[in-house]
């Protein structure tokens, strides 16, 4: 019995490490009828797959956004687009004198659906980065959308570059 007058019985059960104690209150020792103790609530099955909401973070604008342009595009990949997803790409170039942070910026297509949101990437003056539709290893000159299907229409499509506030910075059709 504990010093506060409540006694507990110890049950053992198999655990990954062997036997593990589980404390169970002795309800008679504390003068409580087992039928008056509310059951432990359980979560409905749908609540178990709760995803953590991501906070909306506004990334500060660093550098002159207007200096970043879509310098080249290739909407129609060589060969079968479905077999050559990285044959589709968009190039961005910083034509300004300041380094520009493009984190949170987006690339959209003609349907205005966001196809890509930029990670924390800085474009230094006169630097070009190519954004490929498929997958690959990120580096200073290549980013990847991670798509498994072609993104851009072979003709009549448009690439729309927006900053983190949704303002159109540049757009280019092929």
Mark residue 66 as left, alpha or beta (left: phi above 0; alpha: psi -120 to 50; beta: remaining). Answer: alpha
pLDDT score at 31: 56
Q: For residue 80, is pLDDT > 50? A: yes
Q: Which segments within the chain are labelled E, that is strand?
A: 8-15, 18-25, 68-74, 89-94, 100-101, 106-108, 114-117, 122-123, 128-132, 142-144, 158-162, 168-173
Of 25-29, 75-79, 115-119, 138-142, the one with minimum mean pLDDT is 25-29
pLDDT of the residue at 112: 79
| Region 10-28 average pLDDT | 47
pLDDT at residue number 28: 54
Q: Does domain 65-173 have CATH number 3.10.20.80?
A: no
Which pLDDT tens digit goes with each residue over 92-114?
999 999 999 999 999 998 887 88
Q: Is the predicted pLDDT of residue 51 greater than 80, yes or no? A: no
What is the token pair recorded at 118? 């930029």
pLDDT of 19 over the 80 cut: no
Residues of each domain in the chain carrying CATH 2.60.40.1260: 65-173
The owner of tokens 């002795």 is: 26
Percent of the chain clearing pLDDT 90 (strictly above): 45
Please tell me the distance from the alpha carbon of residue 162 to that of residue 75, in angstroms, as a whole number: 18
Q: What is the pTM of this model?
A: 0.65
pLDDT at 174: 75
What pLDDT does residue 62 have? 80
Label the pairing between strands 122-123 and 158-162: unpaired
Average pLDDT over the chain reads 77
> What pLDDT does residue 17 have?
46
């Amino acid at each position: 019995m504990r010093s506060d007058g409540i006694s507990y019985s110890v049950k053992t059960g198999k655990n990954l490490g062997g036997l593990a104690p589980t404390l169970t209150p002795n309800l008679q020792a504390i003068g409580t009828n087992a039928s008056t103790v509310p059951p432990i609530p359980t979560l409905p099955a749908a609540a178990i797959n709760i995803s953590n909401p991501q906070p909306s973070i506004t990334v500060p604008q660093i550098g002159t956004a207007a200096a970043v342009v879509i310098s080249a595009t290739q909407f129609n990949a060589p060969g079968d687009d479905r077999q050559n997803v990285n044959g589709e790409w968009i190039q961005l170039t910083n034509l300004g004198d300041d380094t520009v942070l493009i984190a949170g910026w987006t690339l959209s297509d003609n349907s205005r659906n966001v196809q890509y949101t930029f990670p924390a990437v800085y474009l230094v003056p006169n630097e070009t980065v190519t954004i490929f539709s498929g997958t690959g290893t990120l580096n200073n000159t290549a980013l990847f959308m991670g798509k498994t299907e072609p993104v851009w229409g072979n003709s009549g499509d448009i690439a729309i570059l927006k900053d983190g506030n949704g303002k159109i910075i540049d757009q280019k059709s092929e």
